[in-house]
Amino acid sequence: MSSLRLILTNSRYFGPAWVFASLNILFGTWAIYIPIVKESLGIDKSQLGIAIFFLSLGVFTVFPIASTLINRMGVGRATWLGLILCCLVAMLPFLAPNYYTLMGALYIFGAVMGFTDISMNTLVTELEKKDNTKFMSASHGFFSLGGVLAGLGSFMIGPLNNPLLHMGIAVALVFSVNLFFQGRYRQIIADPVEKEPFSIKLFKPLLLLGLISFVSMGSEGAIIDWSGLYLKEISLAPEALWGAGFLGFQAMMTLGRFLGDGISARVGSVKIVGIGSVLALMGYLLVLTTDIYWAIVGFALAGLGFSVMVPEIFRIGGNVKGIDSSQGVSFIAGTGYSGFLIAPPILGFIADSSSLKSCFIVLLCGTLLIMLASYGLYRKKANR
């Protein structure tokens, strides 16, 4: 919890951490309305999967140019600009009158979120280097905290009965807090790095990290996008509990990430990824029981398992020798969001042709892949 105390007692670190929370407040507010948007536009699961694909496509297509833009603007200014743009475009999906405009709105939303995601992770990486401290995992904890706040907002769905108003409240919260703290990070620029000529050997340390990022972020996105529908259609949960899986997932993600920096320092990055994969596997097994309450517990346990994976690989990716921090972060983010890109349409088609339960069997198999990869890393490290 030392990194959490660091953030809460120093505005130099709280400002960037709140950007993490802000991004997930906006995204999570969209996510809890997915079942309602699906019904209001009269689309099926495969069409919904394709629409979410466009959100991920927007995220993915910004990665090739993000590093150049961030270095040109300065990582602090890039983070602040990205946050402003997120606030401006967050309501577009709720204004879409039909399926095709929804795809376009989600594409724009995704592109802006992707740019902000790379900027804020690069910003934290640079601050860790400059100040010789660690708060990456706790910053991702704030991302999850944003999801918790968005999940709690699911209880406002009935009373407000207005998705656009709900998102407007979220935007007002996000922008006002960031406006107050942006001065503490806006002037930060990345330290110059002595670059080496491109080679496969140079990027080799990132490849396995990219695989773990691909599977874990794809799994996170799937739970965020499909947990509400799973509880509604498979577990037959009442409306008041549709957002409970998302809320439990984000709450445990938050807890795990606030504890992650300290645990990682004691057991090491490889072990913590392996332990996380075991917890996530157990979570999916509970989800597959289809019981309402066991499924909610399962989503929460999966959240705890996945909580520390992404922060660890972002930290490592941003410190690879001979590579700009923004390039390393972009690579990890790109492979991770490829999971977001590919998972929604595939799972949508699986859900239509079979069931949502089959989708979560596929996700369980992906978690087994992470477990095997982490075991391979552990053996390789032990044999050195």
Residues of the chain with pLDDT under 70: 1, 191-205, 317-326, 340-341, 344-345, 377, 380-384
Amino acid (one-letter) located at 192:
P
Token duo for residue 356? 């949502």
DSSP H helices in the chain: 2-9, 11-32, 34-41, 45-61, 63-73, 75-89, 92-95, 99-131, 136-152, 157-160, 163-181, 200-229, 244-267, 269-287, 292-306, 309-317, 325-353, 356-382
Question: CB burial class (10 A; 0-12, 13-18, 19+) of residue 98?
Answer: exposed
Report residue 172: phi and psi, to 5°: -60, -45
CB atoms within 10 A of CB 31: 25
Rounded CA gap, 29 and 257, in Å?
21
| pLDDT of res. 381 | 60
Token duo for residue 233? 């259609």
Report residue 265: phi and psi, to 5°: -65, -30
| pLDDT of res. 210 | 80
Rounded CA gap, 50 and 138, in Å?
33
| pLDDT of res. 40 | 87
| pLDDT of res. 251 | 84
| pLDDT of res. 377 | 67
| pLDDT of res. 107 | 94
| pLDDT of res. 384 | 54
62 contacts: CB under 8 Å, gap ≥ 6: 111, 114, 115, 118
Rounded CA gap, 254 and 303, in Å?
8
Domains of the chain and CATH, by start = 2-188+200-382 (1.20.1250.20)
Rounded CA gap, 157 and 239, in Å?
10
